[in-house]
Amino acid sequence: MARPRQTVLTRQRIVEVAAGLVDTEGLDAVSVRRLATELGVAGPSLYHHFATKNDILDAVADAVVARVDVSAFATLGWADALRHWARSYHAVLCAHPHIVPVLAQGPGRRPAALAMADTVYGALIDAGWPPARATHIGALMRYLVTGSALGSFAQGFDEDPGVYAERYPHLRDAHLLAEHRRSVDEGAFELGLETVITGLVALRNGVRQ
Are 154 and 185 a contacting pair, CB within 8 Å? yes
pLDDT in tens, 53-90: 999 999 999 999 999 999 999 999 999 999 999 999 99
Comparison of pLDDT for 206 and 201, the residue scoring more: 201
Lowest model confidence (mean pLDDT) among 7-16, 20-29, 108-117: 7-16
Band of residue 186 on the pLDDT scale cut at 50, 70, 90: very high
Amino acid 4: pLDDT: 44
pLDDT in tens, 43-53: 788 888 999 99
Amino acid 44: pLDDT: 82
Average pLDDT, the chain: 91
What is the reported pTM?
Answer: 0.87
Asked if residue 182 has pLDDT above 70, the reply is yes
Can you give 20-41 as a three-state secondary structure string? Answer: HHHHHHCHHHCCHHHHHHHHCC
153 burial type by CB count under 10 A (0-12 exposed, 13-18 middle, 19+ buried): middle
Give percent above pLDDT 90 in the chain.
69
Tell me which residue of 152, 187, 159 sits closest to 173, measured CA to CA: 159
Q: Is 49 helix (H, G, I), strand (E, B) or coil?
A: coil
79 to 17, 67, 82, 97, 129: CA distances (angstroms): 37, 21, 5, 26, 12
Comparison of pLDDT for 92 and 8, the residue scoring more: 92
